[in-house]
Chains A and B, each alone.
Chain A
Amino acid sequence: MSEISKELSCQYCNEKIAASDVFCGQCGQPIDEKSEVKEDVFNALQPALLYYFITFLLLATYKLTSFFPEGFDGFILVSVIDVLIVLVFWHHNFDELRELWSLKKIKIGLITVTILFAVLAALVVSLIAAFLNRSIYEEVYYETTLYEESPFPFLVATLLVAVQPAIFEEVAFRGFLFNYLKKVTTPTSAIYVTAFLFGVIHLQFISLLWLIPMGLIFAYSRNRYNTLWYGVFGHFAYNFTITAINFWNVG
């Protein structure tokens, strides 16, 4: 038995305890237990489920029904609502998320590797898609015709398809959704769950084959390095490459 150190005392009965004690010898209460109230899982997960299903309903209504206007207008409208939903949750979790944006955690070498890897992945995925068939091809590529209605098609496409998801999907899936899940389960479990949801919410079921691995890599790096930056740069590089190939093919 170790000697009793002067600083340690039981949080329940104030009796002195040894560093090796798991339970207090006088009152039998656990020593390091955080005095947290055990909350129902679904209560704890409520905001996560809320974000997921609201966003899902928005995207599903846009992709599967004619509720939203056709063409560029509809796409802009849905993107704006999508961003607004994320902003509400971002605002609610602002302090927790702020540390994930810290620039100090960026390592230039890793960022470069991330970008190169993302570009390579995008090239491979588009080759596979082109090789498979037209129906899968359309899943991978975004319609260029959509942007022809706008003054600078390539610039607008870059903003909507590469910049917007790189920031807002990362804040959502690797930011607050990840944090909500980490409250009820292990980080590893949070990595997998957010990756699956990230894949599914895109509503492109063949693309799950690469969306889920992408989600896994981004979530892993978010957990490993405690930053969103690798996800943001990787996500941007991937989507930008797909967009560029897309315009190249058309032009």
Chain B
Amino acid sequence: MEQQDNLITSEFITCENCNAQVVSTVKFCNSCSFPVAGSEDDKRSFRLSIGSKKRQVKDAEEKIKTCKTIIYILAGLLFISGLVVGFAQDDYASMIVNLCISLLYLILAAWSEKNPFGAILTAFIIYVTLILINFIVEPATLFSGLLFKILFIGAFVKGVRSAKEAKDILVELEKTKSL
């Protein structure tokens, strides 16, 4: 009870980081965790950690962008190969299949703008699925363009992790009113 009365009558200070009014007895801002009563060093390290989180988000967004590009490339490649098997080899069934998958990648690429995690994860699983289908039908296909396959899979794995990381850090930054 004593403490309550004490707090109600106590003075307020303005947080340097988020401008919230906080009771002068607190060590950290109740709204953004800024060390209001801390030393200059404490305050600097708070700002540094926000800065490094922002950089992490930027790095993650780079990797997400790489994945988006890869998904567009895959959509394009399937579209072209669909037209080739269709019109050069008269294999219309394969053409429709290729165009359907191309469309699927295109949808995923568009969706990745809104939800990078879901879109990249789905594209990654579909990409591996298609490699496995080709492998089951014709094992030798595994080795064609093997380097690209490894590169793309590596990029997808990083992309999925980055998308998740970026989202988590953005939530944290939002919470510390640092966006």
Please list the residues of chain A having a beta carbon within 8 angstroms of any beta carbon in chain B: 1, 3-4, 16-18, 20-30, 38, 40-42, 45, 49, 52-53, 56-57, 60-61, 64-65, 135-136, 184-186, 188-190, 192-193, 196-197, 200, 203, 205-206, 208-209
B4 A4 Cβ-Cβ under 8 A: yes
Q: Chain A residue with minimal CB distance to B35? A: A28
Which interface class (under 10, 10 to 19, 20 to 34, 35 or more) fits B?
35 or more
B33 A28 Cβ-Cβ under 8 A: yes
B12 A1 Cβ-Cβ under 8 A: yes
- Measured between C-beta atoms, what is the minimum distance from B14 to chain A in Å? 12
Residues in B with CB closer than 8 Å to A38 are 168
B132 A56 Cβ-Cβ under 8 A: yes
Contact A189-B35, Cβ < 8 Å, known A3-B8, A22-B30: no
Residues in A with CB closer than 8 Å to B27 are 25-28
A26 B28 Cβ-Cβ under 8 A: yes
In angstroms, Cα B157 to Cα A4, docked, is: 46
The answer, yes or no, to whether B170 is at the interface (CB within 8 Å) is: no
Residues in B with CB closer than 8 Å to A186 are 115
- Measured between C-beta atoms, what is the minimum distance from A62 to chain B in Å? 10
Contact A64-B137, Cβ < 8 Å, known A4-B7, A23-B32, A193-B118: yes
Between A and B, 27 residue pairs with Cβ closer than 8 Å are A3-B4, A4-B3, A20-B30, A22-B33, A23-B32, A24-B28, A24-B30, A25-B27, A25-B29, A27-B27, A27-B28, A28-B27, A41-B164, A42-B157, A45-B121, A64-B137, A136-B96, A184-B117, A189-B118, A192-B115, A196-B122, A196-B125, A206-B96, A206-B97, A208-B100, A208-B104, A209-B100
**Which residue of the partner chain, among A20, A30, A40, A206, contacts B161 with CB atoms under 8 Å?**
A40
